[in-house]
């Protein structure tokens, strides 16, 4: 069986999502290091309040909608091409996943806020510990930069995983709405595939089963090749 993937075009979505998160984290670092250390505690309180501002939430929602709409388009396009290659026929996939889009946007808005709050909490602890230990300002600043780098690594994981999971949820949505009840599990067939998913490669599963299904788990790059009756 030839490998026909519906995971494509996610690089732009990953970039948009990572840029959204990393910009927020970098902005905290820059604003703190550009201010007088005596104002750090007050500034952190201001930054915490900003997280829930209407303007920020609307801006984040707009960017997330762009991220997931792009994945919606490429996933649907990929599935149509996949079915065309398997059957020589085109399948109409006209039922939009509006509810699914809304739930993913809401979920990731909450996730972004949790990353920001955790980042500010950790920086606040770094500052308090540094002051208590009598550390130099330059050393505390170095710790703040290191904490930002750590938070950005988490942002990378989120940006890498979100398009995959949304693509997997869309694949299930579109296949089931097209009357496709089962699929063949297809792994990426490389050294990064986890053992549990490698063992599933080539097996047939029903969409209404308990799962997990392809791309429903963190960093899963597997695919669901439709079984057509």
In a domain, 190, yes or no: no
The pLDDT assigned to 86 comes to: 75
Work out the angle at residue 71's Cα, subtended by the Cα atoms of residues 62 and 67, and round it to the nearest 5 degrees.
Answer: 25
In a domain, 52, yes or no: yes
In a domain, 198, yes or no: no
In a domain, 150, yes or no: yes
Question: How far apart, in whole angstroms, are the C-alpha atoms of residue 130 and residue 137?
Answer: 8
- Could you tell me the sign of the dihedral formed by the alpha carbons of 41, 47, 48, 53, in that order? positive
Question: How far apart, in whole angstroms, are the C-alpha atoms of residue 67 and residue 75?
Answer: 12
In a domain, 160, yes or no: yes
In a domain, 44, yes or no: yes
The pLDDT assigned to 165 comes to: 93
In a domain, 169, yes or no: yes
**For residue 65, how many C-alpha atoms fall within 13 Å in the half-sphere facing its CB?**
9
Question: How far apart, in whole angstroms, are the C-alpha atoms of residue 82 and residue 3?
Answer: 10
Question: How far apart, in whole angstroms, are the C-alpha atoms of residue 204 and residue 196?
Answer: 15
* Domain count across the chain: 1
For the entire predicted model, the pTM comes to 0.84
The pLDDT assigned to 93 comes to: 60
Question: How far apart, in whole angstroms, are the C-alpha atoms of residue 100 and residue 114?
Answer: 21
State how far Cα 128 lies from the chain centre.
32
In a domain, 193, yes or no: no
The mean pLDDT values, 10 residues at a time, for the chain of 229 residues are 48 91 96 94 94 94 90 83 77 72 93 96 95 93 95 95 92 88 91 91 93 91 87
Range of the domain at 164: 11-180
């Amino acid at each position: 069986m030839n490998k026909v993937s519906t995971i494509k075009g996610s690089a732009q979505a990953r970039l948009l999502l990572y840029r959204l998160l990393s910009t927020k984290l970098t902005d905290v670092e820059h604003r703190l290091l550009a201010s007088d250390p005596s104002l750090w505690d007050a500034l952190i309180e201001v930054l915490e309040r900003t997280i829930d501002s209407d303007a920020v939430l609307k801006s984040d929602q707009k960017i997330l909608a762009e991220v997931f709409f792009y994945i919606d388009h490429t996933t649907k396009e990929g599935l149509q091409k996949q079915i065309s290659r398997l059957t020589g026929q085109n399948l109409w996939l006209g039922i939009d996943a509006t509810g699914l889009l809304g739930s993913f946007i809401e979920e990731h808005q909450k996730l972004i806020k949790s990353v920001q709050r955790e980042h500010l909490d950790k920086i606040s602890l770094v500052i308090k510990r540094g002051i208590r230990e009598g550390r130099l300002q330059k050393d505390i600043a170095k710790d703040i930069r290191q904490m930002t780098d750590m938070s950005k690594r988490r942002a990378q994981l989120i940006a890498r995983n979100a398009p995959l999971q949304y693509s997997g949820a869309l694949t299930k949505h579109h296949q089931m709405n097209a009357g496709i009840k089962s699929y063949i599990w297809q792994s990426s067939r490389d050294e990064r595939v986890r053992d549990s998913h490698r063992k599933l490669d080539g097996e047939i599963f029903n969409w209404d089963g308990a799962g997990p299904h392809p791309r429903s788990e963190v960093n899963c790059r597997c695919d669901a090749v439709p079984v057509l009756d």
